[in-house]
A and B are shown apart, each in its own frame.
Chain A
Amino acid sequence: MFLQFLFISSAVLTVSCALGVLMVKNIMHSCVFLLGSLMGIAGLYATLGADFVAITQIMVYVGGVVILMLFAVMLTGGNDFVSRAQNLLGLPASMGNKWTYAIGLLVGVVFLLTNIQLIRGLTKALPVKTITNEFPSTVTQIGHLLVKDHVLAFEMSSVLLLGALVGAAIIARPRKQN
């Protein structure tokens, strides 16, 4: 009962806010709708019992990505995009020509067929599985997996993040006056 309520409300929030991102003309409003959509996805994770992933979703996307997006939009002009509906060459903006429409249609059809293929197996009666778990919480489980099975990926991503950090420091460093 409660899980169904959580699932339906999260799903409605996710989809409606995702539509909002596309429909709204103002780019700041788009960012705020994106916030709602990402919160909805966190709710979907919570429905699945993945509490750690749900919180990480909020932490990373709401606390980090959306704020950085708002910053970027504000520093690069923000609301001016609404009134200036032109493309880069100064021509009136349009959705594309016949070739872009054809390619878009093709991609859409392929995507739809792939999704149908994926979903087809799931529409039959689902066996109810009770998940047996030897760990007391998902946090413990993720911790164990990260330092046992996936330790290489874990360490490599930490090296990648260190590289990004050093790169950002080098870019932001003031140039020497020669």
Chain B
Amino acid sequence: MNQTVVSYLSQYEFYDFLLALFRNNQGVLAFTLYLLLALIIVGMCATIGGLGTYAERKISADLQARIGPNRVGPYGLLQMLADGVKMMTKEDIMPFTADKKLFYLAPLLCLTGVFATLAVLPFSSGFIMADLNVGIFYLVAISSLVGLGVFLGGYASNSKWSMLGGMRGASQIISYEIPVTISILAIVLLAGGMGFGTIVGRQGGLPHEWFMFHNPFAFIAFFVYSVGALAETNRAPFDLPEAESELVSGYHTEYTGMRFGFFALAEYIEVFVVCGVAASLFLGGYNVPGIKLDILPMQAAQFVIFMTKTLVLYYVVIWIRWTLPRLRVDQLMSVCWKYLTPIAIFNLMGCAIWMVVFNGKSIAELVLGSH
């Protein structure tokens, strides 16, 4: 059934205390808790997105033998705040020929799509806003709002660079959704459910219990997912929608101040979400190696494990950006349709056949004997 963070909290004693505080009004208490936790998660992820810009600059500086931001705060850590203040105080320019309503709407659609995905991201077995039994499907569906935002942003600016960037963005996001979704489907097949709780629950803490090493097809599916996810979040080497050497900066050329900030923030949070999904689908998610207890401090340990895996993947994404050159548009499309999609379909069928032939056992279980 659908589990939520409130139904998880309700098994502890302090929930009864809170309930008494709210005069036994279950609905109001649940709503208040949801509101608080949603604010916490959104605030936390916005901070991670902001720190992502800092990490990007610091790691790129590292890779290019520079120092990077080091003036604001210790190690330049407060650079993000300075950037935030700068963006808020900048003039909000509206192009004269822009489609005003859509121009306002586009960055909001991007940000809404990304924040909506946070509802099902499993930070720990209890700290997941709503463990829907269609969790991963919801995430894939609602994140398509980002593509719409990119496209409308490009259209509404009414400039040629933005238009080209928006069209590239929309076609790229739609195309790469197919190999990504099929790779996810292979994992859903292994887990026997689409909810994040089910998928992560079927894996263990140690690497041989992860779905990535469940069988050779899932191993390939991880890399197909990673490449597709890079393209879906418009990250290099697939950052054609904002290719600054060709399109100035693509769909957000005409945006200034905090509206541009929304696009940038949405991108960095989406990278975090995509890394979190990769960690929970393929790398065992929040499972703590070796320990299976259901106590409250355990949640903190699970949270740390999840964050570690996700942030390592985040580092890899930034590392790739500053290492690989950008693809051409035709190369981008042929990578998607001629290579990734057939490989993803092959993986899906391979996983299905593996599940039937080996009765759902992983390689480790077959080698070490079942337990």
Taking beta carbons and an 8 Å cutoff, which residues of A are in contact with B? Answer: 1-2, 26, 28-29, 32, 35, 51-52, 55-56, 58-59, 62-64, 66-67, 70-71, 74, 79, 136-139
Known A29-B101, A52-B134, A70-B152; 14 more pairs at CB < 8 Å: A26-B99, A29-B102, A35-B148, A51-B134, A56-B137, A62-B141, A62-B144, A64-B144, A67-B147, A70-B155, A137-B133, A138-B134, A139-B133, A139-B193
- B27 close to A (CB within 8 Å): yes
- B140 close to A (CB within 8 Å): yes
Residues A2 and B27 in contact in the complex (CB < 8 Å), given A67-B148, A67-B170: yes
Closest to A73 in B: B155
Distance, CA A109 to CA B137, complexed state (A)? 42
Q: Which residues in B have their C-beta under 8 angstroms from that of A71?
A: 151, 167, 170-171
Contact A139 B194 (CB under 8 A): yes
Interface centre among B102, B144, B145, B194 (most CB of A within 10 A): B144
Distance, CA A1 to CA B31, complexed state (A)? 12
Q: Nearest Cβ in chain A — how far from B159, in angstroms?
A: 14
Q: Nearest Cβ in chain B — how far from A79, in angstroms?
A: 8
Contact B177 A32 (CB under 8 A): no
| 21 A/B residue pairs, CB under 8 Å, sorted by A | A26-B99, A29-B102, A32-B152, A35-B148, A51-B2, A52-B134, A55-B137, A55-B138, A56-B137, A58-B141, A62-B145, A63-B141, A63-B144, A63-B177, A64-B144, A67-B151, A70-B152, A136-B1, A138-B134, A139-B193, A139-B194
Please classify the interface of chain B as helix (H, G, I), strand (E, B), loop, or mixed, using the class held by over half of its residues. helix
Contact A64 B1 (CB under 8 A): no
Closest to B133 in A: A137
Contact A32 B105 (CB under 8 A): yes
- B5 close to A (CB within 8 Å): no
The contact size tier of chain B is: 20 to 34
Contact B102 A66 (CB under 8 A): no
Contact B133 A51 (CB under 8 A): yes
Q: Which residues in A have their C-beta under 8 angstroms from that of B145?
A: 62
Please classify the interface of chain A as helix (H, G, I), strand (E, B), loop, or mixed, using the class held by over half of its residues. helix
Q: Which residues in B have their C-beta under 8 angstroms from that of A58?
A: 141-142, 144
Q: Which residues in A have their C-beta under 8 angstroms from that of B320?
A: none
Closest to B192 in A: A140
Distance, CA A71 to CA B173, complexed state (A)? 13
Residues A64 and B99 in contact in the complex (CB < 8 Å), given A51-B134, A55-B138, A59-B137: no
- B128 close to A (CB within 8 Å): no
Distance, CA A52 to CA B134, complexed state (A)? 6
Interface centre among A1, A63, A64 (most CB of B within 10 A): A63
Closest to A31 in B: B152
Closest to A63 in B: B144
Distance, CA A47 to CA B218, complexed state (A)? 36
Residues A52 and B144 in contact in the complex (CB < 8 Å), given A1-B27, A64-B174: no
- B278 close to A (CB within 8 Å): no
Distance, CA A165 to CA B2, complexed state (A)? 36
Closest to B177 in A: A63
Closest to B174 in A: A67
Q: Which residues in B have their C-beta under 8 angstroms from that of A35?
A: 148
Distance, CA A35 to CA B174, complexed state (A)? 17
Distance, CA A63 to CA B144, complexed state (A)? 5
Distance, CA A138 to CA B137, complexed state (A)? 13
In chain B between 146 and 182, which residues have their CB closer than 8 angstroms to a CB of chain A?
A: 147-148, 151-152, 155, 167, 170-171, 174, 177
